[in-house]
Protein backbone atom coordinates (compact mmCIF):
# COMPACT_ATOMS: atom_id res chain seq x y z
CA UNK A 1 0.00 0.00 0.00
CA UNK A 2 1.20 3.55 -0.73
CA UNK A 3 3.19 5.18 2.07
CA UNK A 4 1.82 8.27 3.88
CA UNK A 5 2.93 11.81 3.07
CA UNK A 6 6.15 12.83 4.78
CA UNK A 7 6.79 9.67 6.79
CA UNK A 8 7.18 5.92 6.48
CA UNK A 9 4.14 5.17 8.64
CA UNK A 10 0.97 7.00 9.62
CA UNK A 11 1.09 8.93 12.89
CA UNK A 12 -2.45 9.94 13.87
CA UNK A 13 -2.66 12.36 16.81
CA UNK A 14 -5.74 10.73 18.35
CA UNK A 15 -4.81 9.04 21.65
CA UNK A 16 -5.63 5.42 20.85
CA UNK A 17 -4.74 4.07 24.31
CA UNK A 18 -7.99 4.27 26.27
CA UNK A 19 -6.44 4.57 29.73
CA UNK A 20 -4.08 7.31 28.54
CA UNK A 21 -7.00 9.11 26.91
CA UNK A 22 -9.02 8.99 30.14
CA UNK A 23 -6.05 10.46 32.04
CA UNK A 24 -5.79 13.30 29.52
CA UNK A 25 -9.53 13.99 29.62
CA UNK A 26 -9.26 14.29 33.41
CA UNK A 27 -6.21 16.54 33.09
CA UNK A 28 -7.98 18.73 30.55
CA UNK A 29 -10.71 19.64 33.03
CA UNK A 30 -8.10 21.40 35.14
CA UNK A 31 -6.37 23.23 32.29
CA UNK A 32 -7.03 26.75 31.03
CA UNK A 33 -9.23 26.38 27.98
CA UNK A 34 -10.36 28.06 24.78
CA UNK A 35 -13.42 27.46 22.62
CA UNK A 36 -11.76 27.28 19.20
CA UNK A 37 -13.19 28.14 15.80
CA UNK A 38 -14.97 25.52 13.68
CA UNK A 39 -11.98 25.59 11.30
CA UNK A 40 -9.50 24.91 14.11
CA UNK A 41 -11.74 22.13 15.47
CA UNK A 42 -11.87 20.54 12.01
CA UNK A 43 -8.07 20.78 11.79
CA UNK A 44 -7.86 18.92 15.11
CA UNK A 45 -10.15 16.17 13.83
CA UNK A 46 -8.04 15.82 10.67
CA UNK A 47 -4.82 15.75 12.69
CA UNK A 48 -6.31 13.16 15.04
CA UNK A 49 -7.47 11.05 12.09
CA UNK A 50 -4.02 10.89 10.51
CA UNK A 51 -5.23 12.77 7.43
CA UNK A 52 -2.74 15.61 8.06
CA UNK A 53 0.27 13.33 8.60
CA UNK A 54 3.10 14.16 9.33
CA UNK A 55 2.05 17.35 11.11
CA UNK A 56 2.23 17.22 14.91
CA UNK A 57 -0.11 20.12 15.57
CA UNK A 58 -0.90 23.69 14.59
CA UNK A 59 1.55 25.75 12.55
CA UNK A 60 3.28 28.89 13.82
CA UNK A 61 3.40 32.24 12.06
CA UNK A 62 6.57 31.55 10.06
CA UNK A 63 5.36 28.17 8.81
CA UNK A 64 1.92 29.56 7.95
CA UNK A 65 3.39 32.38 5.87
CA UNK A 66 5.88 30.01 4.21
CA UNK A 67 3.14 27.52 3.32
CA UNK A 68 0.91 30.26 1.95
CA UNK A 69 3.76 31.71 -0.09
CA UNK A 70 5.56 28.66 -1.44
CA UNK A 71 3.63 25.54 -0.33
CA UNK A 72 6.27 24.32 2.08
CA UNK A 73 7.04 24.82 5.76
CA UNK A 74 10.22 26.49 6.94
CA UNK A 75 11.58 22.96 7.43
CA UNK A 76 10.84 22.04 3.81
CA UNK A 77 7.70 19.88 4.17
CA UNK A 78 5.47 20.20 1.10
CA UNK A 79 2.08 21.50 2.30
CA UNK A 80 -0.55 23.63 0.47
CA UNK A 81 -2.49 25.55 3.16
CA UNK A 82 -1.73 26.70 6.71
CA UNK A 83 -3.10 24.40 9.43
CA UNK A 84 -3.72 26.86 12.23
CA UNK A 85 -5.50 27.59 15.49
CA UNK A 86 -6.42 31.26 15.12
CA UNK A 87 -8.39 33.17 17.74
CA UNK A 88 -9.47 36.76 18.32
CA UNK A 89 -8.17 36.97 21.89
CA UNK A 90 -5.60 34.74 23.62
CA UNK A 91 -5.22 36.87 26.77
CA UNK A 92 -6.85 34.15 28.91
CA UNK A 93 -3.95 31.78 28.20
CA UNK A 94 -1.06 34.24 28.30
CA UNK A 95 2.00 32.56 29.81
CA UNK A 96 0.31 29.16 29.90
CA UNK A 97 2.14 26.19 28.38
CA UNK A 98 -0.68 23.64 28.10
CA UNK A 99 -4.34 24.30 27.26
CA UNK A 100 -7.58 22.47 26.57
CA UNK A 101 -9.25 23.14 23.23
CA UNK A 102 -13.03 23.12 23.46
CA UNK A 103 -15.35 22.16 20.61
CA UNK A 104 -17.54 24.97 19.21
CA UNK A 105 -19.78 22.52 17.34
CA UNK A 106 -20.96 20.33 20.23
CA UNK A 107 -23.32 21.32 23.04
CA UNK A 108 -21.56 22.45 26.24
CA UNK A 109 -18.23 22.73 24.35
CA UNK A 110 -16.52 19.53 25.52
CA UNK A 111 -12.74 19.25 25.32
CA UNK A 112 -11.63 18.15 21.85
CA UNK A 113 -7.86 18.18 22.31
CA UNK A 114 -5.01 19.32 24.50
CA UNK A 115 -2.39 21.64 23.01
CA UNK A 116 1.13 22.38 24.17
CA UNK A 117 1.58 26.08 23.52
CA UNK A 118 4.88 26.78 21.78
CA UNK A 119 4.07 30.33 20.69
CA UNK A 120 1.29 32.91 20.61
CA UNK A 121 1.85 35.30 17.71
CA UNK A 122 -0.07 37.96 15.80
CA UNK A 123 -0.66 38.16 12.08
CA UNK A 124 -0.69 41.72 10.77
CA UNK A 125 -3.38 42.94 8.39
CA UNK A 126 -0.79 42.65 5.62
CA UNK A 127 -0.03 39.06 6.65
CA UNK A 128 -3.72 38.16 6.50
CA UNK A 129 -4.13 39.83 3.11
CA UNK A 130 -1.04 38.05 1.78
CA UNK A 131 -2.17 34.61 2.98
CA UNK A 132 -5.72 35.15 1.75
CA UNK A 133 -4.57 36.04 -1.75
CA UNK A 134 -2.12 33.13 -1.92
CA UNK A 135 -4.45 30.45 -0.56
CA UNK A 136 -7.68 31.49 -2.26
CA UNK A 137 -6.29 33.45 -5.25
CA UNK A 138 -8.78 36.20 -4.45
CA UNK A 139 -9.47 38.65 -1.65
CA UNK A 140 -13.17 38.92 -2.43
CA UNK A 141 -15.04 38.84 0.92
CA UNK A 142 -17.98 37.18 -0.88
CA UNK A 143 -15.84 34.08 -1.44
CA UNK A 144 -16.99 31.72 1.38
CA UNK A 145 -13.46 30.53 2.14
CA UNK A 146 -12.07 34.05 2.25
CA UNK A 147 -14.89 35.13 4.55
CA UNK A 148 -14.36 32.18 6.93
CA UNK A 149 -10.55 32.53 7.01
CA UNK A 150 -10.77 36.21 7.93
CA UNK A 151 -13.52 35.86 10.54
CA UNK A 152 -11.73 33.97 13.33
CA UNK A 153 -9.10 36.44 14.47
CA UNK A 154 -5.42 37.11 13.80
CA UNK A 155 -3.80 35.54 16.87
CA UNK A 156 -2.17 32.20 16.03
CA UNK A 157 -1.48 29.63 18.75
CA UNK A 158 1.05 27.05 17.62
CA UNK A 159 2.19 23.75 19.04
CA UNK A 160 1.57 19.99 19.10
CA UNK A 161 -1.79 18.54 20.08
CA UNK A 162 -3.23 15.34 21.53
CA UNK A 163 -6.71 14.64 20.16
CA UNK A 164 -9.29 13.14 22.54
CA UNK A 165 -12.35 12.70 20.33
CA UNK A 166 -13.63 13.31 16.81
CA UNK A 167 -16.19 16.04 17.59
CA UNK A 168 -19.72 15.34 16.30
CA UNK A 169 -18.63 13.25 13.34
CA UNK A 170 -18.57 9.81 14.97
CA UNK A 171 -21.97 10.33 16.63
CA UNK A 172 -23.75 11.94 13.66
CA UNK A 173 -22.21 9.74 10.95
CA UNK A 174 -21.34 6.41 12.61
CA UNK A 175 -21.56 4.43 9.36
CA UNK A 176 -19.60 6.94 7.29
CA UNK A 177 -17.00 8.86 9.30
CA UNK A 178 -13.65 7.10 9.10
CA UNK A 179 -10.11 8.06 10.00
CA UNK A 180 -7.21 7.61 7.60
CA UNK A 181 -5.92 4.68 9.62
CA UNK A 182 -9.35 3.01 9.62
CA UNK A 183 -9.53 3.35 5.83
CA UNK A 184 -6.05 1.84 5.48
CA UNK A 185 -7.11 -1.09 7.69
CA UNK A 186 -10.25 -1.68 5.62
CA UNK A 187 -8.33 -1.58 2.35
CA UNK A 188 -5.82 -4.04 3.72
CA UNK A 189 -8.63 -6.44 4.69
CA UNK A 190 -10.07 -6.14 1.18
CA UNK A 191 -6.65 -6.76 -0.36
CA UNK A 192 -6.73 -3.47 -2.27
CA UNK A 193 -3.35 -2.15 -3.41
CA UNK A 194 -4.37 0.28 -6.13
CA UNK A 195 -7.24 2.57 -5.09
CA UNK A 196 -8.79 5.58 -6.80
CA UNK A 197 -10.38 8.25 -4.57
CA UNK A 198 -13.34 10.42 -5.45
CA UNK A 199 -13.85 13.64 -3.48
CA UNK A 200 -17.37 14.98 -3.08
CA UNK A 201 -19.34 17.57 -1.17
CA UNK A 202 -22.45 16.92 -3.29
CA UNK A 203 -24.76 14.01 -4.11
CA UNK A 204 -23.43 11.98 -7.04
CA UNK A 205 -25.32 12.12 -10.33
CA UNK A 206 -24.86 9.82 -13.32
CA UNK A 207 -21.82 11.76 -14.56
CA UNK A 208 -20.01 11.39 -11.20
CA UNK A 209 -20.90 7.73 -11.01
CA UNK A 210 -19.53 7.04 -14.47
CA UNK A 211 -16.41 9.12 -13.81
CA UNK A 212 -15.55 6.79 -10.94
CA UNK A 213 -15.94 3.81 -13.26
CA UNK A 214 -13.80 5.46 -15.94
CA UNK A 215 -10.98 6.20 -13.50
CA UNK A 216 -11.22 2.74 -11.93
CA UNK A 217 -10.85 1.09 -15.34
CA UNK A 218 -8.20 3.49 -16.65
CA UNK A 219 -5.76 2.96 -13.77
CA UNK A 220 -6.60 -0.70 -13.20
CA UNK A 221 -7.69 -0.05 -9.61
CA UNK A 222 -8.75 -2.70 -7.13
CA UNK A 223 -11.38 -0.42 -5.65
CA UNK A 224 -12.89 3.06 -5.36
CA UNK A 225 -12.91 5.24 -2.24
CA UNK A 226 -15.88 7.60 -2.29
CA UNK A 227 -14.77 10.09 0.33
CA UNK A 228 -17.28 12.78 1.27
CA UNK A 229 -16.81 15.93 3.29
CA UNK A 230 -18.94 15.86 6.45
CA UNK A 231 -18.13 19.28 7.91
CA UNK A 232 -19.38 22.82 7.42
CA UNK A 233 -20.46 24.02 3.99
CA UNK A 234 -21.76 27.25 2.52
CA UNK A 235 -25.47 28.09 2.65
CA UNK A 236 -27.48 26.22 0.03
CA UNK A 237 -25.25 23.14 -0.18
CA UNK A 238 -26.86 19.72 0.38
CA UNK A 239 -26.55 18.57 4.03
CA UNK A 240 -24.19 15.66 4.69
CA UNK A 241 -26.89 13.21 5.84
CA UNK A 242 -28.87 13.68 2.59
CA UNK A 243 -25.72 13.36 0.51
CA UNK A 244 -24.75 10.22 2.40
CA UNK A 245 -28.14 8.60 1.76
CA UNK A 246 -27.95 9.42 -1.96
CA UNK A 247 -24.46 7.97 -2.38
CA UNK A 248 -25.26 4.82 -0.43
CA UNK A 249 -28.34 4.16 -2.55
CA UNK A 250 -26.38 4.68 -5.77
CA UNK A 251 -23.58 2.31 -4.72
CA UNK A 252 -26.01 -0.30 -3.41
CA UNK A 253 -27.91 -0.46 -6.71
CA UNK A 254 -25.34 0.31 -9.38
CA UNK A 255 -21.90 -0.93 -8.28
CA UNK A 256 -20.77 -4.54 -7.80
CA UNK A 257 -20.31 -5.59 -4.14
CA UNK A 258 -16.93 -4.92 -2.51
CA UNK A 259 -15.74 -2.51 -5.17
CA UNK A 260 -16.54 0.77 -3.36
CA UNK A 261 -15.82 2.07 0.15
CA UNK A 262 -18.21 4.84 1.22
CA UNK A 263 -16.52 7.01 3.81
CA UNK A 264 -16.44 10.57 5.08
CA UNK A 265 -13.99 12.90 6.79
CA UNK A 266 -14.46 15.65 9.36
CA UNK A 267 -13.37 18.88 7.75
CA UNK A 268 -14.94 22.24 6.85
CA UNK A 269 -14.88 23.05 3.14
CA UNK A 270 -12.35 25.75 2.19
CA UNK A 271 -13.54 26.32 -1.42
CA UNK A 272 -9.88 27.07 -2.17
CA UNK A 273 -9.79 25.46 -5.61
CA UNK A 274 -6.21 24.51 -6.62
CA UNK A 275 -4.68 24.71 -3.13
CA UNK A 276 -7.49 22.61 -1.67
CA UNK A 277 -7.06 20.05 -4.46
CA UNK A 278 -3.47 19.55 -3.30
CA UNK A 279 -4.64 19.17 0.29
CA UNK A 280 -7.17 16.58 -0.95
CA UNK A 281 -4.35 14.67 -2.61
CA UNK A 282 -2.25 14.66 0.57
CA UNK A 283 -4.91 13.27 2.80
CA UNK A 284 -5.99 10.67 0.24
CA UNK A 285 -2.37 9.51 0.10
CA UNK A 286 -2.44 9.33 3.89
CA UNK A 287 -5.58 7.17 3.56
CA UNK A 288 -3.68 4.73 1.35
CA UNK A 289 -5.08 5.74 -2.05
CA UNK A 290 -2.82 5.60 -5.09
CA UNK A 291 -4.93 7.92 -7.31
CA UNK A 292 -7.21 10.93 -6.83
CA UNK A 293 -9.74 12.05 -9.41
CA UNK A 294 -9.34 15.79 -10.01
CA UNK A 295 -12.06 17.03 -12.28
CA UNK A 296 -13.39 20.28 -13.63
CA UNK A 297 -13.34 23.11 -11.03
CA UNK A 298 -12.28 20.74 -8.27
CA UNK A 299 -12.95 22.31 -4.83
CA UNK A 300 -13.97 25.55 -6.50
CA UNK A 301 -16.88 27.91 -6.03
CA UNK A 302 -18.45 30.47 -8.35
CA UNK A 303 -16.13 31.72 -11.09
CA UNK A 304 -13.03 32.27 -8.96
CA UNK A 305 -10.93 29.57 -10.65
CA UNK A 306 -10.35 28.37 -14.18
CA UNK A 307 -11.99 25.02 -14.98
CA UNK A 308 -8.70 23.11 -14.84
CA UNK A 309 -6.60 25.22 -12.45
CA UNK A 310 -6.85 22.43 -9.86
CA UNK A 311 -5.09 20.09 -12.30
CA UNK A 312 -2.49 22.61 -13.43
CA UNK A 313 -1.21 23.24 -9.90
CA UNK A 314 0.15 19.68 -9.74
CA UNK A 315 2.23 20.31 -12.88
CA UNK A 316 3.12 23.97 -12.41
CA UNK A 317 3.65 24.41 -8.67
CA UNK A 318 4.08 21.06 -6.92
CA UNK A 319 7.74 19.95 -6.92
CA UNK A 320 8.40 16.69 -8.73
CA UNK A 321 8.15 13.77 -6.34
CA UNK A 322 6.50 15.84 -3.59
CA UNK A 323 3.56 13.43 -3.58
CA UNK A 324 3.39 9.68 -4.15
CA UNK A 325 -0.31 9.74 -5.08
CA UNK A 326 -1.10 10.18 -8.78
CA UNK A 327 -3.76 12.48 -10.21
CA UNK A 328 -6.39 11.18 -12.61
CA UNK A 329 -7.19 14.29 -14.63
CA UNK A 330 -10.83 14.29 -15.64
CA UNK A 331 -12.72 16.49 -18.05
CA UNK A 332 -16.38 17.40 -17.68
CA UNK A 333 -18.58 14.31 -17.99
CA UNK A 334 -22.14 14.32 -19.27
CA UNK A 335 -24.74 12.15 -21.00
CA UNK A 336 -24.27 12.04 -24.76
CA UNK A 337 -27.56 11.96 -26.67
CA UNK A 338 -25.65 10.65 -29.69
CA UNK A 339 -24.10 7.69 -27.88
CA UNK A 340 -26.71 7.11 -25.15
CA UNK A 341 -24.12 7.00 -22.39
CA UNK A 342 -22.06 9.22 -20.10
CA UNK A 343 -18.83 10.33 -21.79
CA UNK A 344 -15.87 12.54 -21.02
CA UNK A 345 -16.37 15.55 -23.23
CA UNK A 346 -12.74 15.93 -24.33
CA UNK A 347 -12.97 12.49 -25.94
CA UNK A 348 -15.75 13.58 -28.31
CA UNK A 349 -14.77 16.70 -30.28
CA UNK A 350 -17.54 15.93 -32.79
CA UNK A 351 -20.19 16.76 -30.15
CA UNK A 352 -21.79 20.18 -29.69
CA UNK A 353 -23.34 21.48 -26.48
CA UNK A 354 -26.76 20.42 -27.77
CA UNK A 355 -25.57 16.80 -27.92
CA UNK A 356 -25.32 16.60 -24.11
CA UNK A 357 -27.84 16.55 -21.26
CA UNK A 358 -27.00 19.53 -19.03
CA UNK A 359 -28.91 20.81 -16.01
CA UNK A 360 -27.77 23.74 -13.90
CA UNK A 361 -27.83 23.45 -10.13
CA UNK A 362 -30.57 26.07 -10.06
CA UNK A 363 -32.68 24.08 -12.51
CA UNK A 364 -32.16 20.84 -10.56
CA UNK A 365 -33.28 22.49 -7.30
CA UNK A 366 -36.27 24.05 -9.03
CA UNK A 367 -37.44 20.75 -10.55
CA UNK A 368 -37.02 18.79 -7.32
CA UNK A 369 -38.78 21.47 -5.27
CA UNK A 370 -41.69 21.30 -7.71
CA UNK A 371 -41.85 17.51 -7.54
CA UNK A 372 -40.64 17.10 -11.13
CA UNK A 373 -38.58 14.00 -11.93
CA UNK A 374 -35.04 14.59 -13.12
CA UNK A 375 -34.06 13.07 -16.48
CA UNK A 376 -32.76 9.50 -16.01
CA UNK A 377 -29.76 10.53 -18.11
CA UNK A 378 -28.84 13.02 -15.39
CA UNK A 379 -29.69 11.24 -12.14
CA UNK A 380 -30.59 7.75 -11.00
CA UNK A 381 -34.34 7.76 -10.12
CA UNK A 382 -33.69 6.36 -6.63
CA UNK A 383 -31.19 9.14 -5.92
CA UNK A 384 -33.50 11.81 -7.33
CA UNK A 385 -36.29 10.56 -5.03
CA UNK A 386 -34.13 11.14 -1.94
CA UNK A 387 -33.24 14.63 -3.14
CA UNK A 388 -36.86 15.42 -3.97
CA UNK A 389 -37.95 14.47 -0.44
CA UNK A 390 -35.29 16.78 0.97
CA UNK A 391 -36.17 19.79 -1.19
CA UNK A 392 -39.89 19.38 -0.64
CA UNK A 393 -39.31 19.32 3.13
CA UNK A 394 -37.69 22.78 3.12
Dist CA 97 CA 113 (whole Å):
14
Instruction: Give pLDDT tens digits for 33-54.
Output: 999 999 999 999 999 999 999 9
* Residue extents of the structural domains in the chain: 18-169, 171-393
Instruction: Give pLDDT tens digits for 97-133.
Output: 999 999 999 999 999 999 999 999 999 999 999 999 9
What would be the CATH architecture of the domain defined by 171-393?
3-Layer(aba) Sandwich (3.40)
Q: CB under 8 Å to 145, separation ≥6 — which residues?
A: 135, 136, 269, 270, 271, 272, 301
Pick from 95-109, 193-207, 340-354, 356-370: least confident: 356-370
Question: What residues are annotated to the active site?
Answer: 201-202
Instruction: Please work out, in degrees rounded to the nearest 5, the angle formed at the alpha carbon of residue 183 by the alpha carbons of 178 and 189.
Output: 135
Instruction: Give pLDDT tens digits for 146-157.
Output: 999 999 999 999
241 three-state secondary structure: helix
Residue 236 pLDDT class (50, 70, 90 cuts):
confident
pTM for this prediction: 0.96
Homologous superfamily of the 18-169 domain (CATH): Sulfate adenylyltransferase (3.10.400.10)
Residue 327 pLDDT class (50, 70, 90 cuts):
very high
Residue 234 pLDDT class (50, 70, 90 cuts):
confident
Check: CB of residue 50 under 8 Å from CB of residue 286.
Answer: yes
Residue 235 scores a pLDDT above 90: no
Amino acid sequence: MIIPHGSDKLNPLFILDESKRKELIQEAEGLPSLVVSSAAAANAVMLGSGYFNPLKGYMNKADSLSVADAMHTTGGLFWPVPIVNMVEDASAIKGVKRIALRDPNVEDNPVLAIQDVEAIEEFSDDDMAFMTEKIFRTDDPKHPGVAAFNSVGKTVISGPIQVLNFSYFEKDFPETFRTAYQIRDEMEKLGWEKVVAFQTRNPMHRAHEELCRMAHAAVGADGILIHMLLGKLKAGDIPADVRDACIRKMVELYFPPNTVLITGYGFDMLYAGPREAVLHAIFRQNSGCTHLIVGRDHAGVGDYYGPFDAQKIFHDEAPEGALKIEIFEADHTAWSKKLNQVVMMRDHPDHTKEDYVFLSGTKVREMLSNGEALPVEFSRPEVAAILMNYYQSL
